[in-house]
A and B are shown apart, each in its own frame.
Chain A
Amino acid sequence: MRRSPAFETFRYAAIALALALTLLPILWMVSMAFKPIPEWSATGADLTWIPRAPTLDNFRFVFGESTSDLIVALERTAWRPILSSLLSAVFGTLIAMVCGTAAAYGLSRFGSGKNLPLALIQLRLFPPMAVMIPVMIMWAFLGLIDTWWGLALIYGIVTLPFAFWLMKTFFDEMPREIEEAALVEGCSRFRVFMKITLPVMRAPLASSALLVFILNWSDYLIALLLTTKNWVTIPVYMASLSSSMTGQLYGAKAALGLLAAIPPVILGIAIQKHLVRGLTFGALKQ
């Protein structure tokens, strides 16, 4: 289709604007991460787009090395929050995927009606804030405050509906004949699930797990409410990077933000490949 030059111009202008809006903060963060203190500090009179004297000091700083410019010392380094984020996000994803997949399979194959599947999603009907106060009380009662496992548990619960609905859709679309073919050969139901269904569903499983992982990894609110000191996650830790002397430590925040953005970006690209490819069941040609 041939479009008019005016339309093409408008189209590219719109795309450029959208990209500027979305990419500018990222560019700013990347640039900031490599700037020495005078270039990012609130007192600095010379803010620049591109670092004039690029440095890795901000990265060294968050990992606890002393740096020449920044005289403040950190109470805690970024190692522990990174560990906390990894543990809570990975185990939260595991909980959500194992329970969600099992529930989705059961309801897809043996369930009837829509009420049960819909009931599982009602956790998402409210903003997380609405349920967080009771959750805080429960977690305090169970001694789960400020633990990575407490965080992993709530992450698993919060993202379970996502895992469930994604997997249920995939299971619904999977041709049952593949399972029946194995059942006819005398395979047990459970073995069919483990040896046939799950391997056939590798791609959907991977993409759902990655999506859930990114949700958990990006959480700020829940971690802010349920952790205090030992097991704060990257986003919570990042927010705490400030001092009375220097104010907000923008350079350190940017460096940490850049590091924290790496897993979701990589995983996001991986998901995209799976999602674009979609569900290609080679056996099903109709």
Chain B
Amino acid sequence: MTTIRLENLVKRFGDFTALKTMDLEIRDGEFMALLGPSGCGKSTTMNMIAGMEEPSGGRILFDGRDMNGVPMGKRGVGFVFQNYAIFTHMTVRQNLAYGPKMRGMSRSEIDRRVKNIADFLQLTPMLDQKSAKLSVNILQRLAIGRSAIVEPAIFLLDEPLSNVDAAFRAVMRTELKHLQKQFKQTMVYVTHDQLEAMTMADRIAVMDHGVLQQVGTPLEVYNNPANIFVAKFIGSPGMNLIAGELAETDRGLAVDLGPWGLSPPLPDDLANAARAAGSRAVQYGFRPEEATLASEGQGLRARVTFVERIGARTIVHAESGQPVKIVTENDVGFAVGDAVTIVPAPGAVRLFDAASTAAIRGA
């Protein structure tokens, strides 16, 4: 039950700057996901919150208290490691009891907590087994249990699900969310898996190259990416982006997309914002899920290059100089080589400044 504040946080390793600058407020009881590709600085940020690394600059505040110089054991954080870091020479019970024991809890209190957490995470049958021989899925739950048992005010998880199989990952996503609802900790969750971030997090902090790109709820980040990186990174597949130039037409402002033709006129607020932004070179973006395919009519002209069946849906790859992807129903009537017209849904279009990569947003 703690607010975490990062102020101008910087981390350098020798000449390498892992984290350029980071300002972020994680609210009390919030589930915040730090999302980004590997090397984006998310784990470094997490390690500094835990106290495993000292910041090169800036401050970390827990409830307004500066954590600089406070050793990790005194910060009151729980940490779940990517490789679980189970004490392999101990049994499951000893692993779970470790934290409470270090805090000097009474024997009966430790037993009560071990029983509760073991029930919650279905670890009861293997409580007295040596932990070295357990399966990855069980080690995973044990790692979470060992940190959760002392009910830390702040719970940090470093890619805890990256080593487990897909089916178990789906189960754990629900359980982690459930766990957080029950204990109401402030939770920071590092992941490179956007699905994990989207499904569990209250808010997502998207990072790249040591810079915070955007903070927002999963839907904000998905619907209104702050820049080209976020637009491409979030969504599977990511947002389609086509280079173009703003062009005034008699039906309003549109984007000249070269071989694709002229885009449908932009909505008024977006057009006004684009005019105000002043730049002419833009990236024209829309989600693969938010466009329809037609054989003729008004829209973006392209040719189908590949039809990818993924089960529930079909992804049509089309090209006109640059490639785009459109997610459609399975009964798509197009084959490779067909000419196709892509019609982005009204309101789905996003514009980005080609030079700064920042989003151009309507009011």
Q: Which of B43-85 contact A (CB under 8 A)?
A: 50, 52, 71-74, 77-79, 81-85
Partner of A186, one of B74, B88, B131, B146: B74
Nearest CB in chain A to that of B77: its residue: A184
In the assembled complex, B170 has its CB within 8 A of some CB on chain A: no
Give per-residue flags for A273-286: 1 if the beta carbon is below 8 A from chain B beta carbons, else 0.
00000001111111
User: Once the chains are docked, how many angstroms separate the CA of A199 from the CA of B81?
Assistant: 20
Q: Which of B105-136 contact A (CB under 8 A)?
A: 131-134, 136
| Chain B residues positioned under 8 Å from A69 (CB to CB) | none
- Stretch of B96-104, B255-263, B308-316 with 4 or more beta carbons under 8 angstroms from chain A: B96-104
User: In the complex, which of the residues A177, A185, A284 has the most CB atoms of chain B within 10 Å of its own CB atom?
Assistant: A185
Is the Cβ of B72 less than 8 Å from the Cβ of A180?
A: yes
In the assembled complex, B86 has its CB within 8 A of some CB on chain A: yes
B162 → chain A, closest Cβ, in Å? 9
User: In the complex, which of the residues A182, A186, A200, A286 has the most CB atoms of chain B within 10 Å of its own CB atom?
Assistant: A186
Is the Cβ of A285 less than 8 Å from the Cβ of B102?
A: no
Interface residues contributed by chain A, number (CB under 8 Å):
23
Partner of A282, one of B81, B82, B88: B88
In the assembled complex, B229 has its CB within 8 A of some CB on chain A: no
User: In the complex, which of the residues A178, A184, A196, A280 has the most CB atoms of chain B within 10 Å of its own CB atom?
Assistant: A184
A52 → chain B, closest Cβ, in Å? 54
Q: Which of B130-149 contact A (CB under 8 A)?
A: 131-134, 136, 139, 146-147
Nearest CB in chain B to that of A187: its residue: B102
The size class of the interface chain B forms with chain A is 20 to 34
Partner of B72, one of A184, A199, A280, A282: A184
Known A186-B74, A285-B136, A285-B139; judge A180-B85 contact (CB<8 A). yes
User: Once the chains are docked, how many angstroms separate the CA of A177 from the CA of B84?
Assistant: 8
In the assembled complex, B174 has its CB within 8 A of some CB on chain A: no
User: Once the chains are docked, how many angstroms separate the CA of A95 from the CA of B101?
Assistant: 33
In the assembled complex, B334 has its CB within 8 A of some CB on chain A: no
Is the Cβ of B79 less than 8 Å from the Cβ of A282?
A: no
User: Once the chains are docked, how many angstroms separate the CA of A41 from the CA of B22?
Assistant: 86
In the assembled complex, A202 has its CB within 8 A of some CB on chain B: yes
| Chain B residues positioned under 8 Å from A199 (CB to CB) | 87, 89
| Chain A residues positioned under 8 Å from B172 (CB to CB) | none
Partner of B131, one of A175, A182, A282: A282
Is the Cβ of A180 less than 8 Å from the Cβ of B81?
A: yes
Nearest CB in chain A to that of B149: its residue: A185
Is the Cβ of A283 less than 8 Å from the Cβ of B85?
A: yes
Is the Cβ of B73 less than 8 Å from the Cβ of A183?
A: yes
In the assembled complex, A16 has its CB within 8 A of some CB on chain B: no
User: Once the chains are docked, how many angstroms separate the CA of A177 from the CA of B50?
Assistant: 12
| Chain B residues positioned under 8 Å from A286 (CB to CB) | 83, 163
Is the Cβ of B87 less than 8 Å from the Cβ of A185?
A: no
A152 → chain B, closest Cβ, in Å? 30
Known A178-B85, A200-B89, A283-B132; judge A184-B163 contact (CB<8 A). no
A165 → chain B, closest Cβ, in Å? 24
Is the Cβ of A196 less than 8 Å from the Cβ of B87?
A: yes
| Chain B residues positioned under 8 Å from A183 (CB to CB) | 52, 71-73
B176 → chain A, closest Cβ, in Å? 18
Give per-residue flags for A187-208: 1 if the beta carbon is below 8 A from chain B beta carbons, else 0.
1100000001001101000000
Partner of A283, one of B50, B102, B103, B131: B131
Give per-residue flags for B316-330: 1 if the beta carbon is below 8 A from chain A beta carbons, else 0.
000000000000000
In the assembled complex, B342 has its CB within 8 A of some CB on chain A: no
| Chain B residues positioned under 8 Å from A177 (CB to CB) | 81-85
Nearest CB in chain A to that of B83: its residue: A284
Q: Which of A153-190 contact B (CB under 8 A)?
A: 175, 177-178, 180-188
| Chain A residues positioned under 8 Å from B86 (CB to CB) | 178, 282-283
Residues on A lying within 8 angstroms of B by beta carbon are 175, 177-178, 180-188, 196, 199-200, 202, 280-286
Starting from the known contacts A183-B73, A283-B88, 17 additional A-B residue pairs (CB-CB under 8 Å) come to A178-B87, A180-B81, A181-B81, A181-B87, A182-B98, A184-B50, A184-B79, A184-B147, A185-B98, A185-B103, A186-B102, A282-B131, A282-B132, A282-B133, A283-B86, A283-B132, A286-B83
Q: Could you list some 12 contacts between A and B, CB below 8 A?
A: A178-B85, A186-B73, A186-B74, A186-B99, A202-B89, A283-B85, A283-B88, A283-B131, A283-B132, A284-B83, A285-B84, A285-B139
Closest 6 CB pairs of A and B: A282-B132, A177-B85, A186-B73, A283-B86, A181-B85, A199-B89
